[in-house]
Amino acid sequence: MATFALIHGGGGTSWPWRPLETCLRGRGHRTVAVDLPLDDPEAGLADYADHVIAEVRKSVGHLDGLVVVAHSWGGFVAPIVCDRAKADLLVLLAGMVPAPGEPPADWWANSGFGDKDIDDPVALFMHDVPADLAAEALRHGRGHAEKALVEPWPLDKWPDVPTRYLLCRDDRWFPPEFVRPMVRERLGIEPDEIGGSHSVMLSRPEELADRLAGYL
């Protein structure tokens, strides 16, 4: 049995993890989906990581068998959690991969991401998600205080934890042709692949649960 700590992306909440939590628990695992303190103007990236660890301890009572799964912007938080909690595994799901000292706000230019319009967030992030779930996910969106966006990423190297990257083949936000070279350059590994959009936890929770459990 593993404990999956699930970290959402920027401007999000733990809500979109619910279908995946049901699937992972049905496979005998524990899950802790965390709401990062995005609206706290005093909270930085290390505070976010401490919050994740505290929520896991509160829910489970220990950090044994910890698997940290980070979606999108959550990639800036998850490695800090792994470094502090000595996690067993880190999985970046369509995640941003930070470099030492890199502020999240600088990642977009540094990684070669470029600019994109977000006129239709459903079409961009959730084009394969059922309409009712997509609408509910949008209702759970939040603002993001500035501190954690502009401060340097605090680790001086990637944590000593087995790391997997799972890209989404139908992702219109982080398309595969962008992700593959970014992951090779920053992590030195080949990303794994799953079908689905940027919000694969809502569109394909059973398949995603199989992939995550398979990493164990």
Domain of 62: which CATH number?
A: 3.40.50.1820
Beta bridge partners of 194: 168
Q: How far is CA 97 from CA 100, 103, 145, 187, in A?
A: 10, 11, 20, 8
Q: What angle do CA 178, 98, 117 make, to 5 degrees?
A: 45
d(CA 174, CA 73): 11
Q: Quote the pLDDT of residue 118.
A: 81
Percentage above 90 pLDDT, the chain: 97
Q: Quote the pLDDT of residue 114.
A: 80
Mean pLDDT of 146-152: 97
| pLDDT greater than 90 at residue 116 | no
d(CA 73, CA 13): 12
Cβ pair 25, 31 in contact under 8 A: yes
Residue with tokens 């103007």: 41
How many folded domains does the chain comprise?
1
Q: How far is CA 127 from CA 104, 120, 122, 134, 197, in A?
A: 26, 10, 6, 9, 7
Enclosing domain of residue 144? 3-214
| pLDDT greater than 90 at residue 99 | yes
pLDDT in tens, 183-205: 999 999 999 999 999 999 999 99
